[in-house]
Amino acid sequence: MAKSKKLIFGLGIGIFLAIMIIFTIYPILYAVIGSFKTNGELTAGGSFLPQTGWHIENYYKAFIEADFTKYTFNSVIISLSCMIIAVITSALAGYVFARRKFVGKKFIMAMYVGLMFIALGSVTLYPIYAMLTRLGLNKNILGLILALTGGQASNVLLVMGFVQSIPKELDEAAIIDGCSIYGIFFRVISPLIKPILAVVALFVFRNSWNDYVTTLVMSISMPNLKTLTVAVVQLKYSMNAAAEWHIMLAGASIAIIPILIVYFFANKQFIAGLTAGAVKG
């Protein structure tokens, strides 16, 4: 009886995971395969695979229409910059919240946690844009990077929880050896929190690369700084009055390649960071 229940439970878990995998992979396969179809075949629906041949020229048109070389460069620069800034600020803030005592700490933490559960969304776009305009940053890439880097509350809490799991005796030993607060952070804490910093880096890179609304709004006054995601959506009506879905899917397929490559090379660090944090917590 126990073996039967265990078998049924395992079968149910397997079916659930299979369904989740299908729902996750199907949109990607649909976009990639659809990018090789004609626009008429794609809009008409029907078969999953192309019936009139594999139209590789869709990718050539996507590159020509969207100037993907320039927009890919913009996306890489912006995503990497956001990732570096987020990792540095999250590491420093998480360490301070976990190890130091200062006036207003509880209030700031309450604000951090509270704002995580408030979905302001696009409501904040105008205030952010107005603030960047007053600072003269609305027409350069730095303003866009700062707009995308904001809101690191969840990352700070991740780092803080990881730091709290590190024994304080290590800090005390470092103080005895003559380390200052900066020495403790850079020589003791930083090497130990690399797994969670890798998780933060991947999250921020992914969010910056895939962001559309914020980048679209912030790049209105600087069209040369549009990212790949914005350029892909604009392919929809780039050639004719009718929607060019096959060209847009070709652009979308190109846009997802870099983030898949990043995850392919960094998935070990990503998984290690999540599991290490879970075990230590």
CATH of the domain at 162: 1.10.3720.10
What separation in angstroms does the CA of 99 have from each of 12, 95, 164?
44, 6, 7
In the prediction, which pLDDT does 273 show?
Answer: 63
In the prediction, which pLDDT does 65 show?
Answer: 67
Would you give per-residue pLDDT tens digits along the chain (281 residues)?
A: 667 777 888 888 889 999 998 888 888 888 888 888 887 787 777 777 887 778 888 888 777 766 777 888 888 899 999 999 999 999 998 998 888 888 888 888 888 777 777 666 667 788 888 888 888 888 888 888 988 887 788 888 888 888 888 888 888 888 888 888 888 888 888 888 888 888 888 889 888 988 888 888 888 777 788 888 888 877 765 555 566 777 788 888 888 887 778 777 777 766 766 665 544 44
Q: Where are the alpha helices (DSSP H) in 100-124?
A: 105-116
User: Is 9 a domain residue?
Assistant: no
User: Is 139 a domain residue?
Assistant: yes
How many C-beta atoms lie closer than 10 Å to residue 177's C-beta? 11
How would DSSP label each residue in 160-213? HHHHHTS-THHHHHHHHTT--HHHIIIIIIHHHTHHHHHHHHHHHHHHHHH--H
How many C-beta atoms lie closer than 10 Å to residue 145's C-beta? 22
Q: Determine contact, residues 39/246, Cβ cutoff 8 Å.
A: yes
What separation in angstroms does the CA of 177 have from each of 25, 135, 164, 190?
53, 44, 21, 17
Three-class SS of residue 13? helix
Identity of residue 71: Y
Q: Determine contact, residues 143/132, Cβ cutoff 8 Å.
A: yes
User: Is 24 a domain residue?
Assistant: no
- Residue 41: both structure tokens together: 């075949």
CA pair distance 162, 160, nearest whole angstrom? 5
Interacting residues of 126 by C-beta distance below 8 A, sequence separation 6+: none
User: Is 186 a domain residue?
Assistant: yes
In the prediction, which pLDDT does 82 show?
Answer: 92
User: Is 119 a domain residue?
Assistant: yes
Query: Structural domain tally of the chain?
Result: 1
CA pair distance 92, 182, nearest whole angstrom? 10
Identity of residue 77: I
User: Is 16 a domain residue?
Assistant: no
How many C-beta atoms lie closer than 10 Å to residue 117's C-beta? 6
Q: Determine contact, residues 249/34, Cβ cutoff 8 Å.
A: yes
User: Is 48 a domain residue?
Assistant: no
In the prediction, which pLDDT does 272 show?
Answer: 66
User: Is 39 a domain residue?
Assistant: no
Q: Determine contact, residues 128/146, Cβ cutoff 8 Å.
A: no
The domain containing residue 214 runs over which residues?
Answer: 59-280
- Residue 233: both structure tokens together: 């959506």
